[in-house]
């Protein structure tokens, strides 16, 4: 959609930034969200499109509602959201603290619900919209220590199916993309190149292309499904 508007969380780096660059190349105006304003401004400087920098804590429901309001004030519509923000501490069950539990669930799962719920009335009014949820291969086969992260992402997969069914009557599509290892800072904070070679990882741009296909309709038939991505060697 020419001049469509997309909100992207976790937009300052990795998959989020790559998604911003890809959607900008397809004519989308952008609302970039994360807690790190400096990274958002760096990302905004790299795209040639109208961009709203909206620093926010994605675990704060009220903050995400304000982002939606800001997007509507700036652009008058919202056509897509990409729930990409993530947090993945590597902890075995006996090591996980209550705070880390809450942060993992809130950043990955609750934030996806908060933003999707906030934008749903706009999609209903427009009779259309797209939600793309970034899941993970950890939802079905987590590395040791990532069971909580995988559980949060598995929750996203189920929400995707349920929301896709709810959205059919108002023209809303909901997709989940579950990549295997992606060459990002978060992944490399968990696994070294010696443990998982770079040649086996996807690039953020690989994932961004699939996100764009879901939003623009090239992958419309995957509505409600989980798209599992992995590097083919």
Give catalytic residue positions: 149
Tell me how far apart the alpha carbons of residues 63 and 61 are, in angstroms, rounded to a whole number.
5
Find the helix packing angle between 98-105 and 147-167, rounded to 10°: 30
- Quickly count: other Cβ atoms within 10 Å of residue 96's Cβ: 16
Tokens for 193, please give them: 């190149």
Tell me how far apart the alpha carbons of residues 198 and 222 are, in angstroms, rounded to a whole number.
29
How is the beta sheet containing 172-179 ordered, strand by strand?
51-53, 29-33, 5-9, 80-83, 129-134, 172-179, 226-229
Per the CB < 8 A criterion, the answer to whether 187 and 146 are in contact is no
Closest CA to 64 of 14, 23, 5, 9: 9
By CB neighbour count within 10 A (0-12 exposed, 13-18 middle, 19+ buried), where does 125 fall? Answer: exposed
């Amino acid at each position: 959609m020419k001049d469509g508007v997309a909100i992207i969380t976790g937009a300052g780096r990795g998959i989020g930034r790559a998604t911003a660059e890809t959607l900008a190349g397809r004519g989308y105006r952008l609302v970039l969200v994360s807690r790190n304003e400096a990274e958002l401004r760096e990302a905004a400087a790299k795209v040639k499109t109208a961009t709203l920098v909206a620093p926010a804590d994605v675990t704060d429901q009220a903050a995400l509602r304000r982002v939606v309001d800001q997007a509507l004030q700036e652009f008058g519509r919202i056509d897509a959201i990409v729930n990409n923000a993530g947090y993945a501490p590597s902890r075995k069950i006996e090591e996980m603290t209550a705070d880390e539990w809450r942060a993992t669930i809130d950043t990955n799962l609750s934030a996806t619900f908060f933003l999707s719920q906030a934008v749903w009335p706009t999609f209903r009014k427009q009779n259309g919209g797209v939600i793309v949820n970034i899941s993970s291969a950890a939802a079905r086969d987590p590395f040791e220590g990532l069971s909580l992260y995988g559980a949060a992402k598995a929750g996203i997969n189920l929400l995707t199916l349920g929301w896709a069914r709810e959205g059919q009557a108002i023209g809303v599509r909901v997709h989940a993309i579950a990549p295997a290892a992606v060459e990002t800072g978060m992944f490399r904070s968990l696994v070294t190149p010696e443990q998982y070679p770079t040649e086996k990882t996807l690039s953020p741009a690989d994932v961004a292309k699939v996100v764009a296909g879901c939003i623009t309709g090239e992958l419309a038939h995957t509505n409600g499904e989980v798209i599992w991505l992995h590097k083919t060697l």
